[in-house]
Structure 1
Amino acid sequence: MADQQNLPEGTVHNILEQETLKWVFVGGKGGVGKTTCSSILSILLATVRDSVLIISTDPAHNLSDAFQQRFTKSPTLVNGFTNLYAMEVDPTVEHEDVGTSEGMDGLVSELAGAIPGIDEAMSFAEMLKLVQTMDYSVIVFDTAPTGHTLRLLQFPSILEKGLGKMMSLKNKFGGLFSQMTRMFGMDDDYNEDAVLGKLEGMKDVIEQVNKQFKDPDMTTFVCVCIPEFLSLYETERLVQELTKFEIDSHNIVINQVLFDDEVVESKLLKARMKMQQKYIDQFYMLYDDFNITKLPLLPQEVTGVEALKGFSSHFLTPYQPLSNRDQVEWLERRVSELKDQLKEAEEELNTLKKGKQKV
């Protein structure tokens, strides 16, 4: 078992200091706090970069809730910032928009739809194409739960194979496509070379993005988890898949940690702390070469820009439990809690006494 006492606590300073980064993915199991972490990461990046865009690709968008501001599929400036933008996109909805359009885009979309898995991929490609023309310094992706994220990361390679397959049909069927378009009275915009030319252009964009995704200087993936078995299992699966896709990952954020030297009377909480510690030790053992950042479980949700900014300090400086920070403050809090417990006990005793008197 890893001895955490001798291990340096990790932070996200390495991401902020890596000036070459263009794409930052944040992912993990559902319900572990990915949106909060990606939002805070984008806020921190905005302090060291010229312009930052955070994109939610999770169909159940939480970005608007995190910042308490409504976002759409167009980049919107986040309130209180001059260089941080946010947008929420749904690949499926985006594809429906493309599929119903008239002209060349509609035909290309219909052709591509014949290849399994390529519809979402093409929508993702269109979004990346749009994002690239916007010239942001760094783009943060708040992704959906693990399974969806892994599909998202496969899109570039799916597109490369799919579009390559479609273009190979040109050699196989010769001028059949051109004959069909003429037979149905379509104009020159629909000829074989025009359609394949558009596909070729899209393929070029995808090849470029795929190359960037596999470049550790330009892309990194931050894994967010909680200290529980299923989350540990999901993180291990995610890290293995990222390695397979040749995507760099060297940061893990363990969220919702109960610290064992806080003032806790509950036997349930103490048992949960013990369970959490077991999995935290396993995280340190499995990922000894990662930057592991531990975040405390708070009694309230972290929503709104001010709350996000306040919580961001734990991403830069390892969290210090209250009892480690100030012994006087710790004792004052302990006395306050004991007074509250005494007051509750006295009220309960008085209620019992009144009940006996009535009897």
Structure 2
Amino acid sequence: MAADSQDLPEASIQNILDQDSLKWVFVGGKGGVGKTTCSSILSILLSRVRQSVLIISTDPAHNLSDAFQQRFTKTPTLVNGFTNLYAMEVDPTVENEEVGGPDGMDSLFSELANAIPGIDEAMSFAEMLKLVQTMDYSVIVFDTAPTGHTLRLLQFPSTLEKGLAKVMSLRNKFGGLMTQMTRLFGIDDEFGEDAILGRLEGMKDVIEQVNKQFKDPDLTTFVCVCIPEFLSLYETERLVQELTKFEIDTHNIIINQVLFDEEDVDSKLLRARMRMQQKYLDQFYMLYDDFHISKLPLLAEEVTGVEALKAFSPHFLTPYKPSAANYTVEELEQKVSTLRQRLQDAEAELERIRKGKQKA
């Protein structure tokens, strides 16, 4: 099936730029497929049509600083060369420093964290969302961690609910014992079980409020980034199914690192890889015939720095065309001459092999 077939949605992310109501844009996929580059370019394009844009990296690898060649922290920082694009990097697995001191609260909170897997992550994510909601950005782009982490992030409301239930059951079971224990360990009231409970309640409210927004297709969309290989196709299918289960809108797929069939590719390895990629590209178009599918070329070097990101951004809006289509007459004549020479060399090699076989 041809990518530019009339019945397929436009091969572009223009639909995201046109949707003025969008508040949250998630960019996710398997590790190593170019999510950070895609989310960075998406945020640059959004900054042209929106009042203010914040891009947040929730990937512990934090490639955002590499992409923009600028150091980012957990505080939103203006990206160099922009007046309305901000970036921040948050580590969802960091310890909650503000929860308590190294001795007192640590023991009690780490017990809670161990009892409910993901509770520390959920709470730091809630803290970050609380912070973001107090800021007035017109759209927020999430450069998410690889797929498994992204799906955990979407389960945070239920994780926090489990956390609350656990604290309540401990409270009911042991009554005032927990309070006595916290005092015995010299923990202030502000770090006691009431404080944890209150904080969990607060986090849960924020997460639930945001979760409602995540499930609203007018406010939230998810962009899947992948490469034309089996594992990436499989991971994308799993991600799309999970997003559907969580009622999160997704209708854009970016297929990165595509080898386009240019006339001057004579490497057997590249040709074989192109055939393999084409097989998976066909499957993508068959599975996601109602998605906006953008294909991006495999480049000789990484796209890093604001200028390189801007230069690559047009391919997100109009389908990439190999440069072969833009040759001048002189360049084409040179190519024909080179191909003739290669053909002569190949024929001479074939003749040599034939003669060698006859002698044998």
TM-score normalised per structure 1:
0.85
Structure-2 separation of matches of 1:79 and 1:24:
22
Query: CA 1:229–1:193 in structure 2 vs 1: closer, same or farther (change >3 Å)?
Result: closer
Structure-2 separation of matches of 1:111 and 1:140:
33
1:108–1:199 CA contact under 8 A, matched in 2: no
* Structure 1 position 104, deviation (Å): 10
Query: CA 1:37–1:192 in structure 2 vs 1: closer, same or farther (change >3 Å)?
Result: closer
Partner of 1:259: 260
* Structure 1 position 257, deviation (Å): 1.1
* Structure 1 position 143, deviation (Å): 1.3
The total of aligned residue pairs comes to: 341
Query: CA 1:194–1:254 in structure 2 vs 1: closer, same or farther (change >3 Å)?
Result: closer
* Structure 1 position 55, deviation (Å): 1.1
Alignment RMSD, CA only? 2.9
Matched, 1:300 2:289: no
Query: CA 1:98–1:107 in structure 2 vs 1: closer, same or farther (change >3 Å)?
Result: farther
Query: Deviations 1:316-347 (Å, cap 9, x if unpaired)?
Result: 111122233x3x437616726966998xxxxx
Give identity over the alignment, percent. Answer: 75
Partner of 1:76: 77
Structure-1 separation of matches of 2:340 and 2:306:
35
- State the SS of the aligned residue for 1:30: coil
Structure-1 separation of matches of 2:333 and 2:272:
20
- State the SS of the aligned residue for 2:71: coil
Partner of 1:95: 95
Partner of 1:40: 41
The range that moved more, 314-323 or 110-119, is 110-119
Q: What amino acid is the match of 1:6? A: S
* Structure 1 position 153, deviation (Å): 2.1
Q: Which structure 1 residue ranges, 5 or more long, are not aligned?
A: 343-359
Structure-1 separation of matches of 2:199 and 2:103:
12
* Structure 1 position 229, deviation (Å): 1.0
TM-score normalised per structure 2:
0.84
* Structure 1 position 217, deviation (Å): 1.6
2:160–2:200 CA contact under 8 A, matched in 1: no
- State the SS of the aligned residue for 1:37: helix
- State the SS of the aligned residue for 2:225: strand
Structure-2 separation of matches of 1:107 and 1:204:
25
Structure-1 separation of matches of 2:192 and 2:119:
22
Query: Deviations 1:163-199 (Å, cap 9, x if unpaired)?
Result: 2432354445444444555666766545654543332
Partner of 2:334: 335
The range that moved more, 148-157 or 38-47, is 148-157
Map 1:203-222 → 2, pairs under 5 A:
203-222=204-223
Q: What amino acid is the match of 1:300? A: E
Structure-2 separation of matches of 1:251 and 1:20:
17
Structure-2 separation of matches of 1:160 and 1:197:
13
